[in-house]
A and B are shown apart, each in its own frame.
Chain A
Amino acid sequence: MSSQHSSSPSHGATSHTGFMKALKCRECGREYPLTATHVCEFDFGPLEVAYDYDRIKRTLSREVICQRPQNMWRYRELLPVAGEPTVGRQVGYTPLVKADRLARRLGIRELYVKNDAVNYPTLSFKDRVVSVALSRSVELGFKTVACASTGNLANSVAANAASAGLECFVFIPHDLEQGKVINSLVYGANVIGIKGHYDEVNRLCAEIAGKYGWAFVNVNMRPYYAEGSKSMGFEIQEQLGWTIPEHTVVCMASGSLLTKIHKSYQEFSKLGLVEPTKWKIHGAQATGCSPITTAQKAGLDFFKPVKPNTIAKSLAIGTPADGFYALKVMKETGGYGDDVTDDEIREGIQLLAECEGIFAETAGGVTVGVAKKLIASGKIPKDSSAVLCITGNGLKTIEAMAGHVGETHDIRPNLREFEALLNQDKTQLLQA
Chain B
Amino acid sequence: MAKTKAAAPRKSTAAAKPVRKAARTVARKVTEPKTARRLWLSYPPEHIKEPVIWQMSQRFPITFDIRQASVTDKIGILCLELEGASKDVEAAITWLRKVGVRVEPVELSALES
Contacts and interface: CB of A to CB of B under 8 A. Distances in A.
Given A43-B67, A44-B38, A150 B111 contact: yes
A148 interface: yes
Interface stretch (B8-16, B22-30, B51-59, B100-108): B100-108
Contacts of B106: 39, 44, 206
Nearest to A173: B111
B75 interface: yes
Interface size band for B = 20 to 34
Contact of B112 (A38, A42, A45, A147): A147
B49 interface: no
A149 B112 contact: yes
Contacts of B38: 39, 44
B109 A254 contact: yes
Main secondary structure of the interface of B (DSSP, over half): strand
B42 A148 contact: no
Interface size band for A = 35 or more
Most buried by B among A152, A302, A315: A302
A153 B104 contact: no
B105 A253 contact: no
Interface string B81-113: 100000000000000000000101111111111
B68 interface: yes
A36 B10 CA distance: 55
6 contacts: A27-B68, A44-B38, A147-B112, A302-B77, A317-B113, A320-B108
Interface of A: 27, 38-39, 42-45, 147-153, 171, 173, 198-199, 201-203, 205-206, 209, 216, 218-219, 222, 253-254, 300, 302, 304-305, 313-317, 319-321, 363
Closest 8 CB pairs of A and B: A314-B113, A205-B110, A321-B108, A206-B105, A148-B111, A206-B107, A321-B109, A317-B109
